[in-house]
Amino acid sequence: MLRKRLGPATLEVLQAIASGHQYGFEIMDTTGLAGGTVYPALAALERDGLVGSDWEDPEQARAEKRPPRRYYAISEKGGGVLQSELERLRRLSSLLDTAVGSRTRNVGVGGRAPAEASPRKA
C-alpha cells in the first residue's frame, strides 16, 4: 500500500475513476476540478500503480472528429487504497462529529455558556 495519504483532489479523482468515469474531461466534469488538478493527479495515480490507462483506437476518435482519449481504470491496489482512505475519512468525520457535538452542547447562543450555568446578577 501507499505510505503517503492521498490529498483531497487526488482522492476525488480516484473515486471518480472507481465510479466509472474513465477519461480526463469526464473526470473534470464529474468532480468539478480543473485540468491543472486532474491531469497531475492522474499521472501520480498511474505512477503509484493505483490506476492503469490505455489510449483508445485513433480511428474511433477520428470517426467522432475528436482527439483520442486516454481511458483510466482503477487497479486492485487502487481499490484497496481507495477503501483505506475512505475508511480513514469516516473515522476522522466521526471524531470531528463527536468533538463538535460535545462543544456545541456546552455552548449557548452567541458562543456563551448556557444561562443555567452562568451566575445570575441580582
State the Cα–Cα distance between residues 10 and 42, nearest whole angstrom: 8
112 in helix, strand or coil? coil
Predicted local confidence at residue 103, as pLDDT:
66
Per-domain boundaries in the chain: 8-100
Whether 120 shows a pLDDT value over 50: the answer reads yes
Average pLDDT over residues 33-44: 97
Do 14 and 33 meet the contact criterion of CB atoms below 8 Å apart? Answer: no
DSSP 51-95: EEEEEPPHHHHHHTTSPPPEEEEE-HHHHHHHHHHHHHHHHHHHH
Predicted local confidence at residue 94, as pLDDT:
87
Predicted local confidence at residue 1, as pLDDT:
47
What is the assigned CATH class of domain 8-100? mainly alpha
What's the pLDDT band for 117 if we cut at 50, 70, 90? low
For the chain, the average pLDDT equals: 87
Tens digit of pLDDT for each residue in 11-37? 999 999 999 999 999 999 999 999 999
Higher pLDDT pick, 114 / 77 = 77
Tens digit of pLDDT for each residue in 67-96? 999 999 999 999 999 999 999 999 988 888
